[in-house]
Structure 1
């Protein structure tokens, strides 16, 4: 219904078909131009819900603005995409500049502080490493924990959001601190820890002798 509607949507240079809607799992993203009437979109969605038996969670609807800074300020102040159309209902949230909106695990918006996006992950990492520290892991165990915790917590967001250099420095400090058991001066430097296992002097037979001394 959206593709067959008169909504103008978003036109991308080099792409023939307009971008009007993207659906993934339970998330639906609709693109509107400044010439579109938000009420028309609501009417289309209501008809679709009646026909399909589905229901949109209007309370979770977020509007992420595009365009010039002046245009975005005007929409936030007047709650209108265009002066000729009715206002957007008050229960629908319009994201302001600097306010991130979570979409499929990524945080999008205008002038979003990318470092702040990572604060919850950093705090979660600190809490998890603190719990693991109480188990007194071995150096090899610490290596596995670092890969499991930091790799698991950061991989997706780093892929879809990108990781600022400041955040990378903070994670590096946590790796150094955890691997050195909190010592101010680590016994082994990070360049050595970053080397491949094959570069070490313990082979399988030596590991076996170490685990089972005579």
Structure 2
């Protein structure tokens, strides 16, 4: 319905047969509006589709990331209008300012976003879980499995979709080292050897 509309155009990208207009995953939808597109027209189309399908669009969960020049982004935030001819956006619609990350399918996106921000709660959760596991006094092999499950499991997806900042990588190495050896100032085995195969003195 959106793609057949002449009111909402989306982006024409060389080499793509269809315009970049909407991306769907489960019950999440991301819509891409150009400077000529009006949010009001988009709402009209979505409201008609919802009535026909018997569905409900959760407008209160709508988040908008302005793209383009800094002047345009500031104008959208201050006026709460994507297009000058639009009425102001509903109060429940959040507009992400520069520096405010927005979560999209597990990744954090936005303008001038600090890449370490989405990692901070993950690092905290890893530390909490490892402290809990440490209370059981696991063996070295047990610690290896716990690290793979907790550290690997909690970081793999975000690293894949967003990359891991060097500072976060350094922090996680320190957390892993402390979990393995406690407060020992000089670990019995250096991490680079510990990462190796068992026949080489490691625990992999």
CA distance in structure 2 between the aligned counterparts of 1:95 and 1:176, rounded to whole angstroms: 38
Q: CA deviation at 1:143?
A: 1.0
CA contact (8 A) 1:35 1:81 kept: no
Which sections of structure 1, spanning at least 5 residues, go unmatched? Answer: 203-214
Aligned-residue Cα RMSD (Å) equals 1.5
Does 2:8 align with 1:4? no
CA distance in structure 2 between the aligned counterparts of 1:115 and 1:150, rounded to whole angstroms: 16
- What is the TM-score with the length of structure 1 in the denominator? 0.90
Within-5 A mapping of 1:8-87: 8-87=9-88
Moved more, 66-75 or 190-199: 190-199
Within-5 A mapping of 1:178-189: 178-189=179-190
Q: CA deviation at 1:26?
A: 0.9
CA contact (8 A) 1:100 1:109 kept: yes
- What is the TM-score with the length of structure 2 in the denominator? 0.94
Within-5 A mapping of 1:1-214: 1-6=1-6, 7-200=8-201
Equivalent position of 1:207 in the other structure: none
CA distance in structure 2 between the aligned counterparts of 1:140 and 1:182, rounded to whole angstroms: 19
CA contact (8 A) 1:21 1:30 kept: yes
CA distance in structure 2 between the aligned counterparts of 1:95 and 1:182, rounded to whole angstroms: 42
CA distance in structure 2 between the aligned counterparts of 1:57 and 1:182, rounded to whole angstroms: 49
Q: Deviations over 1:76-123 (max 9, x none)?
A: 011122223322222211111111111111111111111111000000
Q: Deviations over 1:112-154 (max 9, x none)?
A: 1111110000000000000011000111111111111100000
Task: Specify the structure having the higher radius of gyration (Cα).
Answer: 1
Q: CA deviation at 1:49?
A: 0.6
CA distance in structure 1 between the aligned counterparts of 2:95 and 2:122, rounded to whole angstroms: 25
